[in-house]
Amino acid sequence: MKLMKLLSTLLVTLLLSACGDSSSQLRPLKSDATILAFGDSLTEGYSVNKDDSYPAQLAKLTNRNIINAGISGEVSEIGLSRLPGLLAKHEPELVIICHGGNDILRKQSMAEMQSNLTKMITLAKNAGADVILMAVPNFGLFLSSHETYIKIADETGVVFMEDLIPDILSDKSLKSDTVHPNKLGYQLMADTIYDVLKSKGAL
């Protein structure tokens, strides 16, 4: 058990060191702040209990209200249409966007996905929220973040977590299938996002 904890800590450190735009910062989150975790199955917590999803585990770490707004199988076009209502309802101070994986898997237009995700970021910013963007990998033998996310991050200047999901899905011990983390993988997602929130000034 101690060895697993040590390995998890080392992996979190490695992921954090490879993560994000070093110049972007986040505003401090109020003690009663709401965080909107927005995405598809990676956010919903496919393959694990609801309490083991990354938003649920992150809520325990941050002591903040985190809304799990992930829907398995959703493509970015539908996500874009869903986001305005969630922003109006929950008024989040921070939105964590992890979307587009189903666009990639279904080989949909990457130009349209880029447009949809960029619009999501704009909507969140216009609603007064900071944004973290999480990259999804090109699914194949060698996993690396899809170049579309890098373009979006460069254009929008949001805090960018480029390597977290690709690195987790590259480790058989951290995933339940080829495209989803297992309980430990989701825990590492939560741990790493928590460290990013601290390093970027949100906590």
* Share in percent of the chain as helix, strand, coil (round to 5): 50, 15, 35
Tell me the per-residue pLDDT of 114-123, one tens digit each, with 9 for 90 and over.
Answer: 999 999 999 9
CA distances from 91 to 20, 24, 32, 126, 175 (A): 25, 22, 12, 11, 32
Give the total number of structural domains in the chain. Answer: 1
CATH number, domain with residue 15? 3.40.50.1110
β-sheet bridge partners, residue 181: 175
Q: Give the single-character DSSP code of 131.
A: E
Bigger pLDDT: 82 or 23? Answer: 82
pLDDT at 179 over 70: yes
Tell me the per-residue pLDDT of 68-118, one tens digit each, with 9 for 90 and over.
Answer: 999 999 999 999 999 999 999 999 999 999 999 999 999 999 999 999 999
Spatial separation of the C-alpha atoms in residues 139 and 190, rounded to whole Å: 22
Query: Which domain, by its residues, includes 93?
Result: 2-199
Question: Rounded to two decimals, what is the model's pTM?
Answer: 0.89
Name the residue among 11, 4, 2 with its Cα closest to residue 191: 11
pLDDT at 2 over 50: no
